[in-house]
Homo-oligomer: A and B are copies of this chain.
């Protein structure tokens, strides 16, 4: 399919769960290709799903030589460890994976806020249930997830409130950045309310956004914007009502 060392297979047209992998590849400066964005990309992604001795349940799938792996948090951990985006001691690796998995749980709940009944049915078919689930997500779950990471940032004895792990940037910060970025897109009103409660998380989001490779990537044609087909969708009726003056 290409000469790149790392091939990402993910649906074109949305950031989706593939974006968590893309951010690690970009931050690592890896030699990679987004197969879904190539000609016949969707076909290639579909073909990859059924193939090989270890099938994938769903994209993203990463192919590196003969190795084919799936599950976004698994791929992110593999790349983060391989590229030295986390210290190599066992505890750091396990804690980084723990954070990445907690980000992934938040991502799944963000998806279900607009699709609480059936992933394969249209939003319009589950609008009423979505209103209830989104209210719970905005008022209970977003504060709980982001509040957790706020506590992590403050509990890290070496991080000065800035780092999830140890005394420097690690790859799960890319995941937390993307989760916050998606929430800002989908729930701008709710996030205006919640952000002051989680200042360290919001500062981390800003720092990651300004990392040179992440900033360059997000402005490149390789980055796909949020839209109404992805995990993070902006339906005004699912957000907090507009603040009245």
Contact = CB atoms under 8 A, between A and B. Distances in A.
A54 B133 contact: no
8 contacts: A54-B152, A56-B98, A67-B91, A69-B94, A112-B116, A116-B117, A117-B129, A118-B132
Nearest to A92: B54
B151 A55 contact: yes
Q: Which 3 pairs across A and B sit closest by C-beta, in order of nearness?
A: A118-B136, A71-B101, A129-B129
A93 B173 CA distance: 24
A198 to B, nearest CB: 14
A116 to B, nearest CB: 5
Interface string A18-54: 0000000000000000000000000000000010111
Interface string A82-118: 0000000011001101100110010010001000111
A94 B67 contact: yes
Given A57-B105, A116-B116, A129-B129, 15 more contacts: A53-B156, A53-B157, A54-B165, A57-B102, A67-B90, A69-B91, A69-B98, A71-B102, A78-B94, A101-B101, A116-B129, A116-B133, A118-B133, A118-B140, A120-B140
Contacts of A156: 53-54
A230 to B, nearest CB: 18
